Amino acid sequence: DVKVTQSSRYLVKRTGEKVFLECVQDMDHENMFWYRQDPGLGLRLIYFSYDVKMKEKGDIPEGYSVSREKKERFSLILESASTNQTSMYLCASSPEVLAKNIQYFGAGTRLSVL
Amino acid sequence: GNSVTQMEGPVTLSEEAFLTINCTYTATGYPSLFWYVQYPGEGLQLLLKATKADDKGSNKGFEATYRKETTSFHLEKGSVQVSDSAVYFCALSPSNTGKLIFGQGTTLQVKP
């Protein structure tokens, strides 16, 4: 079974802190994604990566950056956390670029910024 | 542009009732369509998919048919169980992008 592991289930941070959310997948997938999930808005794509050291902006990249130094690991970085970044963050991976691919999700990290 | 619209929830049903969750989409080209489910405290998992017009996806008693003429992909189940209580997301993947665009999610609560 594909496993996507997010390092923390819950995080509480203060405004202005630098926050790292880590995601690791164990199936050698090329593609990895970061979403945020908010009530009534569904999932919105923040950043994605099709390969090591490669990244592309999604629909809501402002206030975030990412790092992919190794194929299995994709990190989401909040350079200076703000209260409007309080949300559920979901990581996903998929094995190929084609439109018919399936994404596999981690359990999510619920981040609260105080 | 590409977008997905789902019916608003929450949907509350009694066990063994019939379920329909409506989903319509706007897309250019020939997208693939998906239903994902999120059980409490878990991430999303694929429930079913359809890759071309008139395809029917099915899994665990759930079904959805890709209707190009009405741009819809409604989720149905003939007899729901308490264990089906979850949030259901309709999604599309635009042609050859590998990305997913999600609807806002519909919460289903099934009571015994």
Task: Give the chain B residue nearest A47 (alpha carbons).
Answer: B99
- Largest Cα–Cα distance in chain A? 40
Q: Across the interface, do B96 and A99 touch by the CB < 8 Å criterion?
A: yes
Count CB neighbours of B71 within 10 A.
16
Distance between CA A14 and CA A29 in Å, rounded? Answer: 33
Q: Across the interface, do A48 and B99 touch by the CB < 8 Å criterion?
A: yes
pLDDT of residue B1: 84
Q: pLDDT tens digits, residue range A61-93?
A: 999 999 999 999 999 999 999 999 999 999 999
Q: What is the pLDDT along chain B (112 residues), one digit of tens a residue?
A: 889 999 888 999 999 999 999 999 999 888 999 999 999 988 999 999 999 999 999 999 999 999 999 999 999 999 999 999 999 999 998 876 778 999 999 999 999 9
The answer to whether residues A85 and A34 touch, using CB atoms and an 8 Å cutoff, is: no
Query: Which residues touch A84 (CB under 8 Å, ≥6 apart)?
Result: none
Model confidence at A97: pLDDT above 80: no
